[in-house]
Amino acid sequence: MDDRIGVIGAGSWGTTLAKVAADNERDVLLWTRRSELARAINTDHENQDYLPGTRLPDRITATDDLESLAANSRLILLVVPSHGLRKVAHDLGQHVTGEHIIVHATKGIEQGSHLRMTEVLREETCVKRLGVLSGPNLAKELAQCQPTGTLIASRYHEVFERCHAVFNNAYFRVYWGEDVVGAEVGGAFKNIVALAAGVVTGLGLGENTKALLLTRGLSEMARFGTAMGAQILTFGGMAGMGDLIATCASPLSRNHQVGARLAKGEKLEAIQQDMRMVAEGVKTTFAVHQFATEHQLDLPIVRGVYALLYEGASVPDVLRDLMALPTGEELAQLGR
Protein backbone atom coordinates (compact mmCIF):
# COMPACT_ATOMS: atom_id res chain seq x y z
CA MET A 1 0.00 0.00 0.00
CA ASP A 2 1.68 3.23 -1.12
CA ASP A 3 1.17 6.90 -0.31
CA ARG A 4 -1.38 7.62 -3.02
CA ILE A 5 -4.74 9.09 -2.03
CA GLY A 6 -7.92 7.33 -3.10
CA VAL A 7 -10.98 9.44 -3.95
CA ILE A 8 -14.17 7.49 -4.64
CA GLY A 9 -16.66 9.53 -6.65
CA ALA A 10 -15.79 11.63 -9.70
CA GLY A 11 -18.60 14.17 -9.45
CA SER A 12 -17.77 17.86 -9.10
CA TRP A 13 -16.96 17.61 -5.38
CA GLY A 14 -14.91 14.42 -5.55
CA THR A 15 -12.97 15.74 -8.53
CA THR A 16 -12.31 19.03 -6.76
CA LEU A 17 -10.97 17.31 -3.64
CA ALA A 18 -8.76 15.14 -5.84
CA LYS A 19 -7.42 18.35 -7.41
CA VAL A 20 -6.68 19.89 -3.99
CA ALA A 21 -4.66 16.81 -2.97
CA ALA A 22 -2.84 16.81 -6.32
CA ASP A 23 -2.08 20.54 -5.96
CA ASN A 24 -0.36 19.51 -2.72
CA GLU A 25 1.87 17.16 -4.73
CA ARG A 26 0.00 14.00 -3.81
CA ASP A 27 -0.66 11.24 -6.30
CA VAL A 28 -4.40 10.59 -6.47
CA LEU A 29 -6.49 7.68 -7.73
CA LEU A 30 -9.96 9.00 -8.65
CA TRP A 31 -12.60 6.27 -8.93
CA THR A 32 -15.65 6.42 -11.15
CA ARG A 33 -17.94 3.51 -11.96
CA ARG A 34 -17.94 4.60 -15.63
CA SER A 35 -14.88 3.39 -17.51
CA GLU A 36 -15.49 5.88 -20.33
CA LEU A 37 -15.34 8.80 -17.89
CA ALA A 38 -12.11 7.44 -16.42
CA ARG A 39 -10.57 7.25 -19.89
CA ALA A 40 -11.71 10.75 -20.75
CA ILE A 41 -10.23 12.23 -17.56
CA ASN A 42 -6.92 10.48 -18.14
CA THR A 43 -6.79 11.60 -21.77
CA ASP A 44 -8.04 15.18 -21.43
CA HIS A 45 -6.98 15.97 -17.82
CA GLU A 46 -10.44 17.43 -17.36
CA ASN A 47 -13.74 16.14 -16.04
CA GLN A 48 -15.95 17.58 -18.75
CA ASP A 49 -19.07 15.94 -17.33
CA TYR A 50 -18.91 17.40 -13.80
CA LEU A 51 -16.17 20.04 -13.61
CA PRO A 52 -15.79 21.48 -17.11
CA GLY A 53 -13.21 24.16 -17.68
CA THR A 54 -10.87 23.07 -14.86
CA ARG A 55 -7.59 21.48 -15.85
CA LEU A 56 -6.72 18.58 -13.57
CA PRO A 57 -3.12 17.99 -12.44
CA ASP A 58 -1.19 15.13 -14.01
CA ARG A 59 -0.94 13.52 -10.57
CA ILE A 60 -4.61 12.48 -10.82
CA THR A 61 -5.25 9.10 -12.39
CA ALA A 62 -8.86 8.07 -12.93
CA THR A 63 -9.86 4.41 -12.55
CA ASP A 64 -12.94 2.20 -12.44
CA ASP A 65 -11.11 -0.47 -10.39
CA LEU A 66 -12.18 -0.23 -6.73
CA GLU A 67 -9.97 -3.12 -5.64
CA SER A 68 -6.86 -1.49 -7.10
CA LEU A 69 -7.70 1.83 -5.46
CA ALA A 70 -8.00 0.16 -2.04
CA ALA A 71 -4.79 -1.79 -2.55
CA ASN A 72 -2.82 1.34 -3.40
CA SER A 73 -4.32 3.96 -1.05
CA ARG A 74 -4.21 4.01 2.72
CA LEU A 75 -6.33 7.17 2.97
CA ILE A 76 -9.62 6.89 1.08
CA LEU A 77 -12.03 9.78 0.61
CA LEU A 78 -15.59 8.70 -0.14
CA VAL A 79 -17.55 11.31 -2.11
CA VAL A 80 -20.74 9.74 -3.46
CA PRO A 81 -24.44 10.69 -3.03
CA SER A 82 -25.98 9.51 0.23
CA HIS A 83 -28.49 7.20 -1.45
CA GLY A 84 -25.65 5.32 -3.15
CA LEU A 85 -23.12 5.31 -0.34
CA ARG A 86 -24.17 2.01 1.25
CA LYS A 87 -23.73 0.07 -2.00
CA VAL A 88 -20.32 1.61 -2.68
CA ALA A 89 -19.28 1.09 0.95
CA HIS A 90 -20.35 -2.57 0.75
CA ASP A 91 -18.28 -3.07 -2.40
CA LEU A 92 -15.33 -1.22 -0.85
CA GLY A 93 -15.66 -3.32 2.29
CA GLN A 94 -14.49 -6.36 0.35
CA HIS A 95 -11.10 -4.72 -0.24
CA VAL A 96 -10.19 -2.61 2.81
CA THR A 97 -8.44 -3.64 6.05
CA GLY A 98 -7.84 -2.17 9.47
CA GLU A 99 -4.87 -0.27 8.04
CA HIS A 100 -7.14 2.02 6.01
CA ILE A 101 -8.53 5.42 6.94
CA ILE A 102 -11.85 6.43 5.38
CA VAL A 103 -13.15 9.98 5.40
CA HIS A 104 -16.43 10.79 3.67
CA ALA A 105 -17.56 14.12 2.24
CA THR A 106 -21.20 13.12 1.67
CA LYS A 107 -23.82 15.51 3.05
CA GLY A 108 -26.91 13.44 3.67
CA ILE A 109 -28.76 11.03 5.95
CA GLU A 110 -29.85 7.58 4.85
CA GLN A 111 -33.56 7.30 4.23
CA GLY A 112 -35.43 4.70 6.27
CA SER A 113 -32.66 3.97 8.77
CA HIS A 114 -31.87 7.66 9.56
CA LEU A 115 -28.24 6.59 9.83
CA ARG A 116 -25.40 9.02 9.35
CA MET A 117 -22.78 8.13 6.75
CA THR A 118 -20.11 7.05 9.26
CA GLU A 119 -22.67 4.69 10.78
CA VAL A 120 -23.26 3.17 7.34
CA LEU A 121 -19.50 2.83 6.87
CA ARG A 122 -19.20 1.01 10.20
CA GLU A 123 -21.87 -1.45 9.09
CA GLU A 124 -20.36 -2.09 5.67
CA THR A 125 -16.59 -2.02 6.31
CA CYS A 126 -14.11 -3.17 8.95
CA VAL A 127 -12.43 0.26 9.08
CA LYS A 128 -12.35 1.89 12.52
CA ARG A 129 -10.55 5.14 11.73
CA LEU A 130 -13.38 7.07 10.15
CA GLY A 131 -14.01 10.76 9.69
CA VAL A 132 -16.08 13.35 7.88
CA LEU A 133 -15.05 16.40 5.84
CA SER A 134 -17.63 19.18 5.98
CA GLY A 135 -17.65 22.94 5.59
CA PRO A 136 -18.44 25.95 3.36
CA ASN A 137 -17.11 24.24 0.26
CA LEU A 138 -18.67 25.01 -3.12
CA ALA A 139 -16.82 22.82 -5.60
CA LYS A 140 -16.50 25.35 -8.44
CA GLU A 141 -15.02 28.04 -6.21
CA LEU A 142 -12.58 25.66 -4.53
CA ALA A 143 -11.51 24.25 -7.90
CA GLN A 144 -10.57 27.83 -8.82
CA CYS A 145 -8.40 28.00 -5.67
CA GLN A 146 -10.61 30.63 -4.02
CA PRO A 147 -9.79 30.69 -0.27
CA THR A 148 -12.01 28.69 2.08
CA GLY A 149 -11.78 26.19 4.92
CA THR A 150 -13.24 22.93 6.07
CA LEU A 151 -13.63 20.71 9.12
CA ILE A 152 -12.31 17.19 9.57
CA ALA A 153 -14.27 15.56 12.38
CA SER A 154 -13.13 12.25 13.83
CA ARG A 155 -12.60 10.47 17.12
CA TYR A 156 -9.08 9.68 15.92
CA HIS A 157 -6.49 12.45 15.82
CA GLU A 158 -4.53 10.45 13.25
CA VAL A 159 -7.39 10.97 10.80
CA PHE A 160 -7.07 14.73 11.10
CA GLU A 161 -3.28 14.67 10.91
CA ARG A 162 -3.40 12.61 7.74
CA CYS A 163 -6.08 14.79 6.09
CA HIS A 164 -4.37 18.01 7.17
CA ALA A 165 -1.15 16.88 5.51
CA VAL A 166 -3.00 15.98 2.31
CA PHE A 167 -5.44 18.88 1.92
CA ASN A 168 -4.30 21.93 3.91
CA ASN A 169 -2.66 24.61 1.76
CA ALA A 170 -2.61 28.32 0.97
CA TYR A 171 -6.23 28.36 -0.25
CA PHE A 172 -7.81 25.52 1.75
CA ARG A 173 -7.58 25.66 5.55
CA VAL A 174 -8.31 22.39 7.35
CA TYR A 175 -9.59 22.47 10.94
CA TRP A 176 -10.16 19.61 13.37
CA GLY A 177 -13.00 18.56 15.67
CA GLU A 178 -14.20 15.47 17.49
CA ASP A 179 -17.96 15.93 17.05
CA VAL A 180 -18.63 13.59 14.13
CA VAL A 181 -22.39 13.67 14.73
CA GLY A 182 -22.55 17.45 14.61
CA ALA A 183 -20.40 17.69 11.49
CA GLU A 184 -22.56 15.15 9.64
CA VAL A 185 -25.85 16.67 10.77
CA GLY A 186 -24.74 20.19 9.89
CA GLY A 187 -23.63 19.17 6.41
CA ALA A 188 -26.87 17.34 5.74
CA PHE A 189 -29.37 19.69 7.37
CA LYS A 190 -28.12 22.86 5.69
CA ASN A 191 -29.32 21.47 2.36
CA ILE A 192 -32.91 21.62 3.60
CA VAL A 193 -32.50 25.26 4.53
CA ALA A 194 -30.79 25.88 1.18
CA LEU A 195 -33.90 24.62 -0.61
CA ALA A 196 -35.95 27.15 1.34
CA ALA A 197 -33.35 29.87 0.62
CA GLY A 198 -33.71 29.13 -3.08
CA VAL A 199 -37.45 29.67 -2.76
CA VAL A 200 -36.80 33.03 -1.09
CA THR A 201 -34.52 34.02 -3.97
CA GLY A 202 -37.00 32.76 -6.55
CA LEU A 203 -39.73 34.88 -5.02
CA GLY A 204 -37.52 37.97 -5.20
CA LEU A 205 -37.58 38.53 -1.45
CA GLY A 206 -34.83 40.50 0.25
CA GLU A 207 -32.08 40.18 2.82
CA ASN A 208 -34.39 40.49 5.84
CA THR A 209 -36.25 37.37 4.77
CA LYS A 210 -33.03 35.48 4.06
CA ALA A 211 -31.59 36.42 7.45
CA LEU A 212 -34.76 35.26 9.20
CA LEU A 213 -34.64 31.96 7.34
CA LEU A 214 -30.96 31.29 8.09
CA THR A 215 -31.32 32.19 11.75
CA ARG A 216 -34.35 30.00 12.33
CA GLY A 217 -32.83 27.30 10.12
CA LEU A 218 -29.74 27.24 12.32
CA SER A 219 -31.99 26.90 15.37
CA GLU A 220 -33.75 23.89 13.81
CA MET A 221 -30.40 22.38 12.83
CA ALA A 222 -29.25 22.59 16.44
CA ARG A 223 -32.52 21.14 17.74
CA PHE A 224 -32.33 18.20 15.35
CA GLY A 225 -28.61 17.70 15.86
CA THR A 226 -28.68 17.60 19.63
CA ALA A 227 -31.53 15.10 19.45
CA MET A 228 -29.14 12.88 17.48
CA GLY A 229 -26.34 13.39 20.00
CA ALA A 230 -24.40 16.32 18.54
CA GLN A 231 -22.62 19.03 20.52
CA ILE A 232 -24.48 22.30 20.06
CA LEU A 233 -21.32 24.42 19.62
CA THR A 234 -20.47 22.53 16.43
CA PHE A 235 -23.31 24.30 14.66
CA GLY A 236 -21.61 27.66 15.18
CA GLY A 237 -18.60 26.48 13.18
CA MET A 238 -17.52 25.37 9.70
CA ALA A 239 -19.93 22.44 9.32
CA GLY A 240 -22.88 24.40 10.71
CA MET A 241 -23.09 28.13 10.24
CA GLY A 242 -20.24 28.23 7.70
CA ASP A 243 -21.78 25.68 5.37
CA LEU A 244 -25.25 27.12 5.92
CA ILE A 245 -24.20 30.62 4.80
CA ALA A 246 -22.29 29.41 1.74
CA THR A 247 -24.98 27.03 0.51
CA CYS A 248 -27.94 29.30 1.16
CA ALA A 249 -26.35 32.37 -0.40
CA SER A 250 -24.90 30.90 -3.58
CA PRO A 251 -26.68 30.10 -6.85
CA LEU A 252 -23.91 27.50 -7.35
CA SER A 253 -25.68 25.33 -4.76
CA ARG A 254 -27.81 22.65 -6.41
CA ASN A 255 -30.29 22.77 -3.53
CA HIS A 256 -30.58 26.53 -3.88
CA GLN A 257 -31.24 26.06 -7.60
CA VAL A 258 -34.03 23.56 -6.93
CA GLY A 259 -35.74 25.92 -4.48
CA ALA A 260 -35.52 28.86 -6.86
CA ARG A 261 -37.05 26.84 -9.68
CA LEU A 262 -39.86 25.57 -7.43
CA ALA A 263 -40.66 29.17 -6.55
CA LYS A 264 -41.05 29.93 -10.26
CA GLY A 265 -43.64 27.17 -10.65
CA GLU A 266 -41.55 24.27 -12.00
CA LYS A 267 -42.33 20.74 -10.83
CA LEU A 268 -39.81 18.82 -8.72
CA GLU A 269 -39.73 15.80 -11.03
CA ALA A 270 -38.93 17.95 -14.05
CA ILE A 271 -36.22 19.83 -12.17
CA GLN A 272 -34.53 16.62 -11.04
CA GLN A 273 -34.62 15.13 -14.52
CA ASP A 274 -32.98 18.28 -15.85
CA MET A 275 -30.10 18.25 -13.32
CA ARG A 276 -27.01 16.12 -13.93
CA MET A 277 -25.96 16.20 -10.26
CA VAL A 278 -27.86 15.26 -7.10
CA ALA A 279 -29.52 17.86 -4.87
CA GLU A 280 -29.09 16.06 -1.54
CA GLY A 281 -31.62 18.23 0.27
CA VAL A 282 -34.57 16.55 -1.45
CA LYS A 283 -33.87 13.15 0.08
CA THR A 284 -32.53 14.62 3.32
CA THR A 285 -35.80 16.49 3.85
CA PHE A 286 -37.70 13.19 3.71
CA ALA A 287 -35.34 11.50 6.20
CA VAL A 288 -35.23 14.42 8.65
CA HIS A 289 -39.00 14.96 8.53
CA GLN A 290 -39.56 11.28 9.26
CA PHE A 291 -37.12 11.36 12.19
CA ALA A 292 -38.65 14.57 13.55
CA THR A 293 -42.15 13.09 13.39
CA GLU A 294 -41.09 9.92 15.19
CA HIS A 295 -39.26 11.88 17.91
CA GLN A 296 -41.80 14.71 18.19
CA LEU A 297 -39.36 17.46 17.21
CA ASP A 298 -40.87 20.80 16.20
CA LEU A 299 -39.08 21.78 12.98
CA PRO A 300 -41.34 24.21 11.07
CA ILE A 301 -38.95 24.91 8.17
CA VAL A 302 -38.41 21.19 7.62
CA ARG A 303 -42.16 20.69 7.75
CA GLY A 304 -42.72 23.44 5.19
CA VAL A 305 -40.07 22.17 2.77
CA TYR A 306 -41.41 18.63 3.12
CA ALA A 307 -44.93 19.85 2.29
CA LEU A 308 -43.57 21.64 -0.76
CA LEU A 309 -41.59 18.63 -2.02
CA TYR A 310 -43.82 15.69 -1.07
CA GLU A 311 -47.35 16.92 -0.38
CA GLY A 312 -47.98 19.22 -3.30
CA ALA A 313 -48.22 22.35 -1.19
CA SER A 314 -47.84 25.67 -2.98
CA VAL A 315 -45.04 28.12 -2.23
CA PRO A 316 -47.43 30.91 -1.10
CA ASP A 317 -49.25 28.53 1.26
CA VAL A 318 -46.01 27.30 2.85
CA LEU A 319 -44.73 30.85 3.30
CA ARG A 320 -48.04 31.98 4.80
CA ASP A 321 -48.09 29.06 7.25
CA LEU A 322 -44.50 29.70 8.38
CA MET A 323 -45.16 33.40 8.97
CA ALA A 324 -48.34 32.58 10.91
CA LEU A 325 -46.51 30.46 13.49
CA PRO A 326 -46.68 31.80 17.06
CA THR A 327 -43.52 33.50 18.32
CA GLY A 328 -41.95 33.26 21.75
CA GLU A 329 -38.60 33.38 23.48
CA GLU A 330 -36.06 33.18 20.65
CA LEU A 331 -33.65 30.63 22.12
CA ALA A 332 -36.04 28.83 24.47
CA GLN A 333 -36.07 25.54 22.55
CA LEU A 334 -32.53 25.66 21.17
CA GLY A 335 -30.81 22.35 21.78
CA ARG A 336 -33.83 20.67 23.37
> What distance in Å separates the CA atoms of residue 314 and residue 308, rounded to the nearest whole number?
6
Nearest Cα neighbor of 5 from 78, 86, 98, 64 is 78
Question: 34-60: per-residue pLDDT in tens?
Answer: 999 999 999 999 999 999 999 999 999
Question: 25-39: per-residue pLDDT in tens?
Answer: 999 999 999 999 999
Say whether pTM exceeds 0.75. Answer: yes
Domain layout of the chain by residue ranges: 4-178, 181-323
> What distance in Å separates the CA atoms of residue 153 and residue 178, rounded to the nearest whole number?
5
- Beta-strand runs (E) in the chain: 4-8, 28-31, 60-63, 73-78, 101-104, 130-134, 148-153, 172-177
The predicted pLDDT at position 303 comes to: 98
Residue 335's pLDDT band (boundaries 50, 70, 90)?
A: very low
Least confident residue range of 8-17, 46-55, 140-149, 246-255:
246-255
CA-CA-CA-CA torsion sign (268, 271, 273, 275): negative
Q: Under a CB-based contact definition with an 8 Å cutoff, are residues 292 and 299 in contact?
A: yes
Average pLDDT in the chain: 95
Q: Under a CB-based contact definition with an 8 Å cutoff, are residues 221 and 215 in contact?
A: no
Residue 336 has pLDDT above 70, yes or no: no
Question: 221-231: per-residue pLDDT in tens?
Answer: 999 999 999 99
Nearest Cα neighbor of 49 from 12, 88, 6, 7 is 12
Q: Per residue, what are the HEC states of 260-273?
A: HHHHCCCCHHHHHH
Note the CATH number of domain 181-323.
Answer: 1.10.1040.10
Residue 333's pLDDT band (boundaries 50, 70, 90)?
A: low
Note the CATH number of domain 4-178.
Answer: 3.40.50.720
List, by residue number, the catalytic residues: 190
